[in-house]
Amino acid sequence: MPRALAYLQYLPEHGCRMFALAPSHPSTPVYDASLLRAIPSETRVVRAFNPEPPFAWRDRLWKRLLPPHRNSGSASPGQAEPKNSSSLKRRIRSTLQRALFPDIQTVWVPFAIRAAVRLVERFDIETVILNVPPFSTLKIGIVLRNQFSHLKIISDFRDDWMGYYVHNFDSPDADRLARCEALERDAVRCSDFVAVATKLWAEQMRTRYPGESVNKFVFVPNGYEPQLFADFSHRQRHDGKMIVAYFGTLYNNRIYSPENYLRAIEQLPDNIREAIETRFVGRITPDAEPLFTNRRATLHRYGFLPKRRGIRLLEDADVLLLIATDPGSHAAKLFDYLGTGKPILALSPCGGEIDLLLRETGAGMCVDPWNVDSIAAALIRCFDALATNRPISTPNLQAIEQYSWPMIMCRFARETAISTKMPAAR
């Protein structure tokens, strides 16, 4: 939602008249109505019927069908399903995956296509931006390209589907993998531009599609909304404590699990552990809840909050915690963290995309997410710095500003030549 919202908010500054096509009743785990109020009043929002089941229902069903090691970030990969259920589960899983390819939101696609066609014809629309995932949205672009040759199609990938998402959050067999590859290939072929969220993903896409122009793939990172931080307060405390805050959803999987952080806190010397309070602001998935039981550390869980309220809870924090173990990805919360100007402790591979961005902006440090001792040592360094009134990080404000949505959308409008106010980049 923040990425799509940024297009609606800032592309009008570059001469674009904006329309938004969305589901009539989005089936999501959380819902922040305050983001809807940020949509400019001149934007026309059109909603198409989406016959999806409730998120909680389908999430429970799918997890019952997954093998045990795909349900938990801490379970052993060698754990096997009982023989009397594994075969039936595989058949049901395969049937559902084929019927609902590539995701459950595919049931929305026929209704969305009809609405999109009407919009293009009625308002002489020239450019369509497809914000994915859900990856079934790519089907809409393919149909529109075949029906309207004049359209400029921009496929905007928040996540790298074939290089990341399929292998970490899906359970593809050979047939499903081939179908995913074919859909992405068709979508790339039909697109005038493919926007991706990290530089590494852009290079991977260029390598995956050597027959396409290298200029088709543009780097459009996630960003932060400056207005959210205009009155952000950097409260200073002198109580000998350290508050670590995590903002976002917590999962129990190998990418976003807080387990190693919690283990690191547990092994700190008593006097330091007792002086550290960790605040988790955001949804905690049911499979991650057990990670918080029987802990000696001081942990506070606030649950899901509207974004503006969640950001306010970061004002008291001394350190902002980021967990993302894939070296090629950016976690969207990283950019909200940048907007605060507070030091970031990222449990992410050194040399990965997050590490490179933190070095570029001076906004914090990366620590090996699999090394509990290294995480504990980093926490001690942060604690000692606070105790001796030394900075944990020295942010480069000019570098950080490049990741504000106004700056990102300015570059996007130029590189994709959709702006009526500036020439296309060469």
State residue 419's pLDDT score.
67
Residues 145 and 278 in one domain: no
DSSP 16: -
Q: Within a domain: residue 424?
A: no
Residues 200 and 292 in one domain: no
Q: Within a domain: residue 426?
A: no
Is the whole model's pTM more than 0.85, yes or no?
yes
Cβ atoms of 309 and 274 closer than 8 Å: no
Q: What is the mean pLDDT of residues 358-377?
A: 97
Residues 177 and 272 in one domain: no
Q: How confident is the model at residue 420 (pLDDT cuts 50, 70, 90)?
A: low
Residues 33 and 95 in one domain: yes
Strands 193-196 and 152-157: parallel
Q: How many CA atoms lie within 13 A of 84 on its CB side?
A: 0
Residues 306 and 193 in one domain: no
DSSP-assigned beta bridge partners for residue 131: 156
Q: Within a domain: residue 160?
A: yes
Q: What is the mean pLDDT of residues 201-227?
A: 94
- Domain of 169: which CATH number? 3.40.50.2000
pLDDT in tens, 113-167: 999 999 999 999 999 999 999 999 999 999 999 999 999 999 999 888 887 778 7
Classify 197 as helix, strand or coil: coil
Cβ atoms of 364 and 346 closer than 8 Å: yes
pLDDT in tens, 397-410: 999 999 999 999 99
Flag the least confident range among 97-101, 226-230, 266-270, 386-390.
Answer: 97-101
Q: How confident is the model at residue 371 (pLDDT cuts 50, 70, 90)?
A: very high
pLDDT at 43 over 70: yes
Closest-CA residue to 157 (of 138, 172, 178): 138
Q: Within a domain: residue 195?
A: yes
Q: What is the mean pLDDT of residues 273-284?
A: 96
Residues 219 and 282 in one domain: no
At a CB cut-off of 8 Å and minimum separation 6, what does 139 contact?
A: 106, 109, 113, 183
Classify 287 as helix, strand or coil: helix
Q: Within a domain: residue 162?
A: yes
Q: Say which residue, 173 or 69, is predicted with more confidence.
A: 173
Q: Within a domain: residue 122?
A: yes
pLDDT at 72 over 50: no
Range of the domain at 237: 230-401
User: Domain count of the chain?
Assistant: 2
Residues 290 and 393 in one domain: yes
State residue 301's pLDDT score.
96
Mean pLDDT, the chain, whole residue set: 88
Residues 56 and 160 in one domain: yes
Q: How many CA atoms lie within 13 A of 365 on its CB side?
A: 14
Q: How confident is the model at residue 78 (pLDDT cuts 50, 70, 90)?
A: very low
Residues 211 and 290 in one domain: no
pLDDT at 425 over 70: no
Residues 297 and 166 in one domain: no
State residue 62's pLDDT score.
65
Q: Within a domain: residue 422?
A: no
pLDDT in tens, 295-340: 999 999 999 998 889 999 999 999 999 999 999 888 888 999 999 9
Residues 371 and 314 in one domain: yes
Give the CA angle between residues 306, 311, 315 to the nearest 5°: 145
pLDDT at 13 over 90: yes
Q: Say which residue, 233 or 95, is predicted with more confidence.
A: 233
Calculate the alpha carbon distances from 76 to 62, 72, 79, 114, 268 in Å: 19, 9, 5, 46, 26
Percentage of the chain lying above the pLDDT 90 cut: 70
Residues 201 and 277 in one domain: no
b or e along 83-98 (b: 16 or more beta carbons within 10 Å of the residue's beta carbon)? eeeeeeeeeebeeebe
Q: What is the mean pLDDT of residues 225-230?
A: 92
Q: Within a domain: residue 421?
A: no
Distance of alpha carbon 411 from alpha carbon 406, whole angstroms: 9
Q: Say which residue, 200 or 75, is predicted with more confidence.
A: 200
